[in-house]
Amino acid sequence: MKKWITIFIIFLIPLNTFAVSCNNCIVMDMDSGRILYENNKDKKLLIASTTKIMTAVIAIENKNLDEKVTIGDEVLPMYGTNIYIEPGEILSLRDLLYGLILRSGNDAAVSIAKYVSGSIDDFVELMNRKAKELDMNNTIFKNPHGLDEDTQNYSTAYDLAKLMRYANTLIDFVEISGTKKWSVTTNKKSYLWYNRNKLLNDYKYLTGGKTGYTPKAGKTLVTTASKNNLNLISVVLNNPNHYQVQKELYEYLYSIYNRILIIDKNNITFNNTQYNDLYINYSFSYPLTKEEENSIQVVVDYYNEEKNLVVGEIYVLFKDKEIFRENIYSKGKKCKKESILNKIITFFHSLF
């Protein structure tokens, strides 16, 4: 009997399985938005100081970061993690953002909010408006810092991944969130801030992120990493082992996914012939496992008539779902339509 039980258990365990203790998490490809891993990605939870990603986005998009900010009494009630700025102290908005992201300063958050919008309530309104623009459909902000004893900010792993993806289109945010150390001198004192995100030092592929913790929310972490041109976003919510979980997720996904160039706009060439009379505006690449590469189809639609030099469309299907579409243009050279069509089809059929 024992022999049969042992054989049966071995039979049920698949090879190359991946298990990680991650109840509320997601890993997204930053460039395409493809979800590579998720568990309970849409569960609404308290998000603690990962809130400050949105605080930084609103500040960056609405103000000159080199403007000077005079700190007011709004910082006096702040508790938890602070950078310990004082009323009457003068810092640049940029320095406040470093204090916000690197040290998770709650006092920096309220000072930024008041400076940008005039009041905390008006700033929170901007945060929620931006969340709607980004289709963060399960997110509500009530404050700019993430403390949750009086007011609570709720979101999901998926929504925070969307936010981080957008934030990484802002050069200032990318630079700040990936900084390990920042020094500041004000009219009152000097500071030396080290990034609280330990993964920046412990995982060599990490490029930035934001930590968070309250007793109610637990440990939260939103990070970005880059390896072999594969740029990923990871979100882990309410997990005491958030650093280890993210490292395991990144390492696993980097081991099975590669970014594959499917369409190269700069190399419309086949059999040593370059088609200079046709062009497209964008290249397209996509994260795929080795097994998934056979699931990609490139399709060309050719128009009967030229419209504004557009002679057709190229689109990419992955498992019969469209993931990319782009116009094909003529540079104005007069060609027979059949000739153009044959060139397009011949070239793109050569890719696969």
Residue-wise pLDDT for 248-279, tens only, equals 999 999 999 999 998 888 765 443 445 566 78
For position 279, what pLDDT does the model report? 81
Which is catalytic among the residues 21, 32, 41, 49? 49
pLDDT tier for residue 332 given thresholds of 50, 70 and 90: low
**Residue 278: CATH number of its domain:** 2.30.140
- Would the CA dihedral through 293, 285, 244, 57 be positive or negative? negative
> Do 186 and 49 belong to one domain?
yes
Which is catalytic among the residues 3, 21, 32, 52? 52
**Residue 93: CATH number of its domain:** 3.40.710.10
Residue-wise pLDDT for 231-253, tens only, equals 999 999 999 999 999 999 999 99
For position 275, what pLDDT does the model report? 54
Task: Output phi, psi for 320, to 5 deg.
Answer: 70, 10
Domain end (from 208, 228, 256) = 256
Residue-wise pLDDT for 151-206, tens only, equals 999 999 999 999 999 999 999 999 999 999 999 999 999 999 999 999 999 999 99
In a domain, 10, yes or no: no
Domains held by the chain: number: 2
For position 21, what pLDDT does the model report? 80
pLDDT tier for residue 333 given thresholds of 50, 70 and 90: very low
Q: Please report which residue ranges of 242-312 form alpha helices under DSSP H.
A: 242-256
Q: What is the span of the domain harbouring residue 343?
A: 261-349
Which is catalytic among the residues 32, 41, 104, 234? 104
In a domain, 286, yes or no: yes
In a domain, 7, yes or no: no
> Do 85 and 201 belong to one domain?
yes
> Do 196 and 244 belong to one domain?
yes
> Do 152 and 250 belong to one domain?
yes
Q: Is 112 helix (H, G, I), strand (E, B) or coil?
A: helix
Q: Do residues 217 and 46 touch, judged by C-beta distance below 8 A?
A: yes
Is residue 3 part of the annotated active site? The answer reads no
Is residue 255 part of the annotated active site? The answer reads no
* CA R_g for the chain: 25
Percent of the chain with pLDDT over 70: 84
Is residue 111 part of the annotated active site? The answer reads no
